[in-house]
Protein backbone atom coordinates (compact mmCIF):
# COMPACT_ATOMS: atom_id res chain seq x y z
CA UNK A 1 0.00 0.00 0.00
CA UNK A 2 1.44 3.35 -0.96
CA UNK A 3 1.56 6.49 1.16
CA UNK A 4 -1.25 8.15 -0.79
CA UNK A 5 -3.65 5.29 -0.04
CA UNK A 6 -2.65 5.29 3.65
CA UNK A 7 -3.18 9.04 3.96
CA UNK A 8 -6.59 8.78 2.26
CA UNK A 9 -7.54 5.93 4.60
CA UNK A 10 -6.52 7.95 7.66
CA UNK A 11 -8.31 11.04 6.33
CA UNK A 12 -11.58 9.27 5.57
CA UNK A 13 -11.50 7.18 8.76
CA UNK A 14 -10.81 10.28 10.86
CA UNK A 15 -13.67 12.15 9.22
CA UNK A 16 -16.01 9.18 9.79
CA UNK A 17 -14.93 8.87 13.45
CA UNK A 18 -15.42 12.60 13.98
CA UNK A 19 -18.91 12.59 12.51
CA UNK A 20 -19.66 9.32 14.33
CA UNK A 21 -18.97 10.96 17.68
CA UNK A 22 -21.56 13.61 16.80
CA UNK A 23 -24.21 11.01 15.99
CA UNK A 24 -23.39 8.96 19.10
CA UNK A 25 -23.68 12.07 21.27
CA UNK A 26 -26.96 13.02 19.66
CA UNK A 27 -28.46 9.59 20.31
CA UNK A 28 -27.18 9.50 23.90
CA UNK A 29 -28.57 12.95 24.69
CA UNK A 30 -31.92 12.11 23.13
CA UNK A 31 -32.03 9.05 25.40
CA UNK A 32 -31.01 11.02 28.51
CA UNK A 33 -33.30 13.99 27.84
CA UNK A 34 -36.27 12.83 29.97
CA UNK A 35 -34.03 12.35 32.99
CA UNK A 36 -32.02 15.53 32.45
CA UNK A 37 -35.14 17.69 32.20
CA UNK A 38 -37.15 15.99 34.93
CA UNK A 39 -36.46 14.63 38.41
CA UNK A 40 -33.52 16.21 40.26
CA UNK A 41 -32.07 12.92 41.57
CA UNK A 42 -32.19 11.27 38.17
CA UNK A 43 -30.68 14.40 36.58
CA UNK A 44 -27.75 14.23 39.00
CA UNK A 45 -27.13 10.59 38.13
CA UNK A 46 -27.47 11.24 34.39
CA UNK A 47 -25.20 14.27 34.62
CA UNK A 48 -22.41 12.08 35.95
CA UNK A 49 -22.93 9.67 33.08
CA UNK A 50 -23.01 12.52 30.57
CA UNK A 51 -19.82 14.11 31.92
CA UNK A 52 -17.99 10.76 31.76
CA UNK A 53 -19.23 10.20 28.21
CA UNK A 54 -18.22 13.70 27.10
CA UNK A 55 -14.72 13.13 28.47
CA UNK A 56 -14.34 9.92 26.47
CA UNK A 57 -16.04 11.32 23.37
CA UNK A 58 -13.77 14.36 23.40
CA UNK A 59 -10.69 12.14 23.32
CA UNK A 60 -12.00 10.29 20.25
CA UNK A 61 -13.09 13.50 18.53
CA UNK A 62 -9.75 15.21 19.22
CA UNK A 63 -7.79 12.35 17.67
CA UNK A 64 -10.19 12.28 14.72
CA UNK A 65 -9.94 16.05 14.09
CA UNK A 66 -6.15 16.03 14.29
CA UNK A 67 -5.94 13.01 11.97
CA UNK A 68 -8.26 14.72 9.44
CA UNK A 69 -6.28 17.95 9.50
CA UNK A 70 -2.80 16.38 9.42
CA UNK A 71 -3.64 13.80 6.75
CA UNK A 72 -5.44 16.47 4.73
CA UNK A 73 -2.46 18.80 4.87
CA UNK A 74 -0.11 15.97 3.87
CA UNK A 75 -2.40 14.95 1.00
CA UNK A 76 -2.53 18.54 -0.21
CA UNK A 77 1.21 19.05 0.09
CA UNK A 78 2.39 15.82 -1.54
CA UNK A 79 -0.41 14.81 -3.92
CA UNK A 80 -3.16 17.32 -4.69
CA UNK A 81 -1.44 20.68 -4.48
CA UNK A 82 -2.69 23.85 -2.82
CA UNK A 83 -5.68 24.53 -5.02
CA UNK A 84 -8.47 26.93 -4.15
CA UNK A 85 -10.75 24.03 -3.15
CA UNK A 86 -8.15 22.54 -0.81
CA UNK A 87 -7.86 25.91 0.92
CA UNK A 88 -11.67 26.21 1.05
CA UNK A 89 -11.93 22.77 2.64
CA UNK A 90 -9.28 23.65 5.25
CA UNK A 91 -11.09 26.90 6.06
CA UNK A 92 -14.42 25.04 6.36
CA UNK A 93 -12.95 22.47 8.74
CA UNK A 94 -11.38 25.16 10.90
CA UNK A 95 -14.66 27.10 10.82
CA UNK A 96 -16.52 23.99 11.94
CA UNK A 97 -14.17 23.53 14.89
CA UNK A 98 -14.43 27.22 15.83
CA UNK A 99 -18.24 27.32 15.58
CA UNK A 100 -18.62 24.10 17.54
CA UNK A 101 -16.25 25.08 20.33
CA UNK A 102 -17.67 28.60 20.51
CA UNK A 103 -21.22 27.30 20.81
CA UNK A 104 -20.19 24.77 23.46
CA UNK A 105 -18.56 27.46 25.57
CA UNK A 106 -21.40 29.96 25.15
CA UNK A 107 -24.52 27.76 25.29
CA UNK A 108 -23.71 24.23 26.49
CA UNK A 109 -21.28 24.66 29.39
CA UNK A 110 -23.59 27.00 31.35
CA UNK A 111 -26.44 24.44 31.41
CA UNK A 112 -27.23 23.11 34.88
CA UNK A 113 -29.29 19.96 35.37
CA UNK A 114 -32.15 19.43 35.73
CA UNK A 115 -33.11 22.05 33.19
CA UNK A 116 -36.17 22.85 31.15
CA UNK A 117 -36.70 21.31 27.73
CA UNK A 118 -36.09 24.62 25.96
CA UNK A 119 -32.67 24.96 27.57
CA UNK A 120 -31.83 21.33 26.81
CA UNK A 121 -32.60 21.97 23.14
CA UNK A 122 -29.31 23.89 22.96
CA UNK A 123 -27.71 20.47 22.54
CA UNK A 124 -29.75 19.87 19.39
CA UNK A 125 -28.71 23.25 17.97
CA UNK A 126 -25.08 22.19 18.52
CA UNK A 127 -25.71 19.01 16.52
CA UNK A 128 -27.37 21.07 13.79
CA UNK A 129 -24.27 23.27 13.51
CA UNK A 130 -21.94 20.28 13.40
CA UNK A 131 -23.94 18.20 10.94
CA UNK A 132 -24.57 21.18 8.65
CA UNK A 133 -20.85 21.90 8.52
CA UNK A 134 -20.13 18.22 7.80
CA UNK A 135 -22.62 18.40 4.94
CA UNK A 136 -21.00 21.51 3.51
CA UNK A 137 -17.50 19.99 3.76
CA UNK A 138 -18.69 16.81 2.05
CA UNK A 139 -20.41 18.80 -0.70
CA UNK A 140 -17.23 20.79 -1.35
CA UNK A 141 -15.11 17.65 -1.23
CA UNK A 142 -17.19 15.51 -3.57
CA UNK A 143 -18.39 18.15 -5.99
CA UNK A 144 -15.39 20.47 -6.24
CA UNK A 145 -12.26 18.36 -5.79
Backbone angles phi, psi at 31, to 5 degrees: -70, -40
Verify cis geometry, omega within 30 degrees of 0, for the bond prior to 114: yes
Structural domain harbouring 109: 3-144
User: Average pLDDT for residues 130-144, to the nearest whole number?
Assistant: 88
Q: Which of 37-41, 51-55, 122-126 has the lowest mean pLDDT?
A: 37-41
Question: HEC states along 25-87?
Answer: HHHHHHHHHHHHCCCHHHHHHHHHHHHHHHHHHHHHHHHHHHHHHHHHHHHHHHHHCCCHHHH
- The pLDDT tens digits of the residues spanning 38-48 come to 878 888 889 99
Asked if the model's pLDDT at residue 145 lies above 80, the reply is no
Question: HEC states along 124-135?
Answer: HHHHHHHHHHHH
Confidence band for 1, pLDDT divided at 50, 70 and 90: confident
Query: Dihedral angle at the C-alpha atoms of 97, 15, 132, 34, nearest 10 degrees?
Result: -90
The pLDDT, as a whole number, for residue 44 is 87
Inter-residue contact 42 to 35 (CB < 8 Å)? yes
Residue 111, phi-psi category: left (phi > 0), alpha (psi -120 to 50), beta (remainder): beta
The reported pTM is: 0.88
How far apart CA 46 and CA 59 sit, in angstroms, is 20
Q: How many domains does the chain have?
A: 1
Amino acid sequence: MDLHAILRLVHITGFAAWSGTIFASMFLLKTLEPGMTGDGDKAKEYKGLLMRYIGLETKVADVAVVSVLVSGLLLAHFYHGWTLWVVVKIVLLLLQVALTLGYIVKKIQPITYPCDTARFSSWYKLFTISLTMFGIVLAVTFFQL
